[in-house]
Structure 1
């Protein structure tokens, strides 16, 4: 790099708005404009098909007064047009820009209206550019070049070897040049006589690994929620709308639906993310879990491949259309299996979906991949023979950390030193215990032998409880991991929140962990920090070193509720509810770990994805914990309220298999009524 040049940086997202209909997405600024900067643009699959779409009237930018989402795949901005306005201080000419996104297509209508005494006229233009850049290129902040479109039958078109983009605009003059296209309309409006112009972009990306869902209807119920806490219902509504926009399918299983991990960077199949999202949504139905399980089973590992880290029975980490490269020599193949937790999480999703009423035939069809996944835990999950599931990147260019905290500095000692692998994460042992124990029950219910896995789980629990406990001046806690030497890594971290409620700990041990989770060094007042403020590596905007991840907190909330620790569960849940209004109820991937009261709001993490599947699904986890929702084992619903006196929550539309229920909780009193038609 020559003097005066700066290194490319990842673009920030926190002040941008996403309109999403997987596998398409559009990112705009607060005024609704899609400007030629940073991440902004229209994307299909993993290609930016338009890099800008800027509206001007008489050569000037409209002045936005309102902008925001209008539901899944819809956005509207309202601007005033003082460049053609009438006399006086009141703005009397207005533009409504309505954006609608469907897979492979974005359409906009521009409605101009006036409250003037006489008609007003103006020239409306939209300047469009396209670079056909790959999402990963944009993420790395690398420079791109606008491409020259062709003018074909009145439409502007861009194309390369795999992507075709076409823009049409009825009644517009379409002009193209070396760097883009301009759509032009001459418009006259009068009071009571608005004028509307429209345009659309249609795109196709050959070789895409993901596509739209096979059905337009979400796989879950949308419960009607009422609550004395005014934050809960809007959080659930916004979250379910976001989840509906993230539904997609894989090219190798086009009839099955799963949730994209998150927009914009993880707009594809990620094993861990889609498994957790489907699991958190189980109280609203099992169809999404079924599609997620089938999709991942279709790519379950069958061979040993050190390059992709595939192993027999292993569930994949992610799939992309091409090799992924990144900082520090990172290079991941299009199908990558570098994850230690996706396989036990696949098992636990199957077990929980069975308990929540997934049809027996659907469960039975997945028993063979279940047994292969169990065998992976036993035969391949422990690379160093110490009795714990662990990971180590053997390629030199894969992920150095392969749990959900997968950044390079996420697993570190309290003094800031990085742990050396193979690394055995605390939460992964709990996932494996829960997976094996639950699988034993499922296998026996279907006439198979589960004794081996019940014994395997019990032995794992004994080893875990003997090796992972540590103490400091605040009391006992669980190490984040064991390092290559088998030493417990002593950072106090949120990982132990995933352990509670899995059954691997005794009730007394769960209470000890709960006390650490809600202490002020871990609970920010907005949620659970990923790392304690007492650690040398803590930083409130550290990706996994002190930030708050929505799903991480929600998993701890659910585990605490399952363990009967309702007060601690609601403490962390209330943190997320306190954060939600600051993000317009669209919970991001992560946000800052600053304490409640330290500034006006939780700090945005500027590169945080939104919407994010497991973050949005966390709203349902909060509802589940507040009401203590669980299947009763006989096709019905059990509820145990954790609410404080005077608090009320109503959820109408909870599902167990084909049955629907209305749950009403007033303080500790709760009633469950079946509402199945």
Structure 2
């Protein structure tokens, strides 16, 4: 999902966009503290500082621009000692507890360490940070010292932070003190937009506010002082704006939003506290990454590199969560329908009917220094849009929404047929139109992610196996939707096309000697005979026969592909295999989540349990039980966790959503809205999950609470209906 993925963004000689893997961008190893709200996000170190001791990808970002690049707290000129640092379970507040080091106060006297408690609390709204700093003296004597805060704002575009070098930049102005006492950093970009960072202090610092601000502290024993700082991101002409709510009001508003999201989806709790921690973290991360748009809730992709709308990522996130949170899918569908391309625009890889790849708001995107302002260079977003629409309709029975976006669904199918199928052979291919666009336009969009068995890179136009599976499912699903809406002629034509696509894929992609599908076909229709996780996505859509599905699953779970933590993107032994690469040997949780759903579709519970146990163990082994965007694909070793990938996003929406995919696969949950029935198809619980409770599992206006229990004697699962609200039935299919 990275604009290339070797790790930066520069555009390499081969035309790939990537995140530069340097010490400044490698966040995975020290697990920074992150908050997000709307189009704003905050990345800080464990002290609550940004770039206090060196250049990193930390700071306050808004609309793809860093509005605060330096934030540093000192006590008597020294960095405090860290006691604890954590983001609250609901991802709303960062709390940091610190104390003083030994502080000299006279030639023969010093303030002993652990005398002063410093508590920092931060809450992030849309374009605003509220920080409350509380200092308390636990010494037995009066304390006279000072606290200081240092600020800077570089207004770097997110692509600069990722490694892109620019020939020119706009004008950064010296800090100004405004009549209201606020301190303002300002920058006028080459796009002629003025961006401002406004800081307000209560109480005001000693002397005039500036980059360095000092507060004298006179604290008697047990004394306490509170300092509050407000940081606001502003763009465009200055205007009178209502002041943001205070710390408590802002926090209450954010928690109310979190409550609304919780109420919209099913809640899960189990007998296994570690599983509960993983699931709760995933739930909170999805809430934090979700932005409320005029179209409804929409998950941004990930922090820090992809905190913006993505087509593929949002759709896959919604698919993984669909059984528990259909409202998220509704917001994603309406959002993409609104931004669907309507005209040819080669500079943006846009064609009529195509669904968005990525949308950016920063200066470099506005100036087209990067092509991602509103960019359509993905081959899979469009068929996935139709797949999500189909599954949403069959999950909810919300045909009003399907009728609303029906012209968009028809336009998407038109793109698949006319523009996506470049040579009319029923296969969906890609070849970029934009000179600055992505070379590879599937989910593995690194420059070297599509190759032949001898390591040669595939030439465009390229047809990826998973994209063919999405396309076949799009045609088949559209046929079912058309029939439900009374469009009998279209239903027949689209179903026939799905059959033709399936036959074509089986003929062109199956590799008998590999027991799996080829990764892709190149521009000469030569198969890339490489064992990859891509083939597992065909299980998700139901394209292969049961026998071939079983063989694909066996290939995926062989030691060359399954490393113990999850299924690798590329199997060990393939020519470009590298467990430290972005797409050629790493493990991606969302990739495994989709494959898990596919295994369940074919009733492959034995393989599925091994896969889900690896994913569960991965979550237990990482900080905060937060699965990252990806991790390295090294074989699992006793007593060690998975190896971190240095520039992975953390958190990442579709990685968080993999917890929902895992649970949905275990339970085999499906819905029959026309019958008012929720079904559990051959549910199972692994040995590490004895009991599970699901509350507020909705079907239309009705909902149920259920409990599933694993019986140790034979591994069977029983289900009890605990509560029913409205007209709905629950059925277990064995």
Partners of 1:659 and 1:290 lie apart in 2 by 18
Equivalent residue number for residue 416 of structure 2: 377
Distance across 1 between alignment mates of 2:633 and 2:263: 32
Tell me if structure 2 keeps the 8 A contact 1:156–1:176. no
Task: State how 1:145-294 maps to structure 2 within 5 Å.
Answer: 148-153=174-179, 154-160=181-187, 161-173=193-205, 181-206=211-236, 217-218=260-261, 221-249=264-292, 254-294=294-334
| Alignment check: 8 A CA contact 1:588 1:612 kept | yes
How far off is 1:268 after superposition? Answer: 1.3
Structure-2 separation of matches of 1:121 and 1:570: 61
Matched residue, 2:500: 459
Name 1:643's counterpart in structure 2: 685
Q: Following the alignment from structure 2 to structure 1, what is the Cα–Cα distance between the partners of residues 530 and 656?
A: 28
Residues 225 and 118 of structure 1: CA distance in aligned 2, closer, same or farther (over 3 Å): same
Report the equivalent of 1:4: none
Instruction: State the distance in 2 between where 1:194 and 1:303 align.
Output: 62
Q: Corresponding residue for 2:630?
A: 590
Tell me if the contact between 1:172 and 1:184 (Cα under 8 Å) persists in the aligned partners: no
Look up the SS of the partner of 1:264 in the other structure: coil
Q: Which residue of 2 aligns with 1:68?
A: 86
Deviant stretches of 4+, over 6 Å: 85-90, 143-146, 212-216
Answer with 617-626 or 305-314: which moved more.
Answer: 305-314
SS at match of 1:364: helix
Alpha-carbon distance, 1:622 to partner = 1.2
2:486 to 447, 458, 471: 447
State the Cα RMSD in Å.
2.6
Q: How does 1:393-412 map to 2 (within 5 A)?
A: 393-412=432-451
**SS of structure 1 residue aligned to 2:612:** helix
Quote how far apart the aligned CAs of 1:118 are: 2.5
Residue in 1 that maps onto 2:75? 57
Q: In structure 2, do the counterparts of structure 1 residues 176 and 353 end up closer, same or farther at CA, with 3 Å as the change threshold?
A: farther
Deviation of 1:23 after TM superposition, in Å, equals: 1.2
Contact in 1 for aligned 2:50/2:72 (Cα 8 Å): yes
Deviation by residue 1:172-192 (Cα, 9 ceiling, x = unmatched): 226679xx6122222233554
Q: C-alpha separation between the residues in 2 aligned to 1:377 and 1:255?
A: 24
Q: 1:516 to 1:176 in 2, by over 3 A?
A: farther
1:30 counterpart (31, 46, 63) = 46
> How far did 1:142 drift?
5.0
Instruction: Give the direction of change, closer, same or farther, for the CA distance of 1:605–1:563 in structure 2 (3 Å limit).
Output: same
Q: Which range moves more in the overlay, 297-306 or 181-190?
A: 181-190
3-state secondary structure, aligned to 2:131: strand
State the distance in 1 between where 2:459 and 2:207 align: 59
Contact 1:151 1:175 in 2 (8 A): no
Matched, 1:82 2:98: no
Conservation of the 8 A alpha-carbon contact between 1:84 and 1:122:
no
Contact 2:593 2:662 in 1 (8 A): yes
1:403-440 CA-to-partner distances (Å, cap 9, x unmatched) read 10111011112332211111100001111111111111
**Alpha-carbon distance change, 174 to 313 in structure 1, aligned in 2, over 3 angstroms:** farther
Kindly provide the CA deviation profile for residues 431-458 of structure 1, in whole angstroms up to 9, marking residues without a partner as x. 1111111111111111112111110000
1:676 aligns with 2:725: yes
Q: Which residue of 2 aligns with 1:13?
A: 27
Residue 133 of structure 1 aligns to a residue whose secondary structure is coil
Aligned pairs for 1:93-108 within 5 A: 93-108=116-131
Counterpart for residue 554 of structure 1? 593
CA 1:88 to 1:603, structure 2 compared with 1: closer, same or farther past 3 Å? same
The two structures have a TM-score, normalised by structure 1, of 0.91
Tell me which moved more, 95-104 or 113-122.
Answer: 113-122
Shift of 1:505: 0.9
- Is the partner of 2:725 in helix, strand or coil? coil
Distance 1:101 1:83 in 2: 33
Stretch moving more, 132-141 or 51-60: 132-141
Partner SS for 1:168: strand
Whether the 8 Å contact between 2:157 and 2:362 is mirrored in structure 1 is no
Cα distance in 2 between the residues matched to 1:284 and 1:232: 17
Match of 2:425?
386
Q: 1:219 deviation in Å?
A: 7.4
* Cα drift, residue 559 of structure 1: 1.1
The answer to whether the 8 A contact 1:638-1:672 is kept is no
State the SS of the aligned residue for 1:199. strand
Question: Following the alignment from structure 2 to structure 1, what is the Cα–Cα distance between the partners of residues 220 and 451?
Answer: 66
Contact 1:44/1:204 (<8 A) preserved = no
1:374 is displaced (CA, Å) by 1.4
SS at match of 2:330: helix
The normalised TM-score by structure 2 is 0.85
Is residue 84 of structure 2 the alignment partner of residue 42 of structure 1? no
8 Å contact from structure 1 (residues 123, 185) kept in 2: yes
Which structure 2 segments of 5+ residues have no match? 1-19, 188-192, 238-252, 711-715, 727-734
Long gaps (5+) in structure 1: 1-6
Report the Cα distance in structure 2 between the residues aligned to 1:8 and 1:603, rounded to whole angstroms.
16
2:709 corresponds to 1:666: yes
Instruction: Measure, in 1, the Cα distance between the counterparts of 2:164 and 2:220.
Output: 45
Aligned to 1:469: 510
Matched length: 657
Q: Distance in 1 between matches of 2:44 and 2:172?
A: 18
**Counterparts of 1:605 and 1:268, CA distance in 2:** 21
**Of 316, 334, 355, the match for 2:394:** 355
Task: Assess if the C-alpha contact under 8 Å between 1:465 and 1:505 holds in 2.
Answer: yes
- 113-122 vs 624-633, which deviates more? 113-122
Equivalences for residues 110-129 of structure 1 within 5 A: 110-129=133-152
Q: Is the 8 A contact 1:219 1:287 kept in 2?
A: no
Alpha-carbon shift at residue 122 of structure 1 (Å): 2.2
CA-CA distance at 1:314 after TM superposition:
1.2
Give how far 1:583 is off: 3.0
- Paired with 1:164 and 1:483, the residues of 2 have a C-alpha distance of 48
SS in 1 for 2:174: coil
Q: Kindly tell me: are residues 76 and 486 of structure 1, through their superposed partners in 2, closer, same or farther at Cα, counting changes over 3 Å?
A: same
